Amino acid sequence: MGRATRLARFVGPQPKTYLATARLGARTDTDDLTGALVEESAVDGLSEEQVFAALASFAGEQRQRAPAYSAKHIGGERSHRLARRGLAVEPPEASVTVHRIEPVGWVSPALTFRATVSAGTYLRSIARDLGTRLGVGGHLTALRREAIGGLRVEDAVTLDRVTRDSLLPVLQVLRHLPAVELDPEARAAVLHGRAVADGEAAGRSGGVVALLQGSELVAVARAEDGWLKPTVVLGDA
């Protein structure tokens, strides 16, 4: 809320955890249940062991193709806009990481699973590709984001219950970032948008750093060429 909304850009790139359900034996043009059915296959021959083993094979770094109906850019235009005009769309593959993936339940033809993935990973693509690996096709039927970094959905509050006391301290939101303590002179410089020297520049060039004075988040900076250059200033002069 308020000036803290400017910190959202530092939250988004963190790993995300989802609870998802894939329906095997049916493929759609959107890779989820909102799309048109493209193909159906029998799943009677699939065992729980086969399904769980195929799911486990998605762990780790890999190349993934986003759904045709997605926000990926192709030739300067959103992929989903091209697809809705009836154009053949094949988004380019991208590198993603599945940090953790595990089954929650299998009641044929539905597999519920939990996955922690890097930013930019499509769970729809995992459902689609899982069906492909099993030879029956598949699509996503349910998706719930449970966490992003250290922020968990069970700690969230509904809009009607948002109060000053329910808000998280900004430092808790950015606890994944390395922190640098500022002296009064450096704090004054940062509040005016000026860069300050980085005593550990060799270890974090190009990284994002939280600049603190005591318990106050003064700014968020980027480490470049031995300097900490403020990108978002939150402190009060």
Residues 81-129: tens digit of each pLDDT: 877 877 777 788 899 999 999 999 999 999 999 999 999 999 999 999 9
Phi, psi of 167 (to 5 degrees): -75, 140
Rounded Cα distance between 173 and 5, Å, is 11
Residues of the chain within CATH 3.30.2350.10 domain(s) are 15-148
Domain covering 177-233: architecture: Roll (2.30)
Domain covering 15-148: architecture: 2-Layer Sandwich (3.30)
Amino acid at 139: H
Report pTM.
0.86
Rounded Cα distance between 90 and 229, Å, is 39
Question: Which residue bears the tokens 């940062």?
Answer: 190
Rounded Cα distance between 145 and 35, Å, is 21
Region for residue 113 given its phi and psi (left: phi exceeds 0; alpha: psi -120 to 50; beta: otherwise): beta
Residues 184-226: tens digit of each pLDDT: 999 999 999 999 988 775 456 668 999 999 888 999 999 988 8
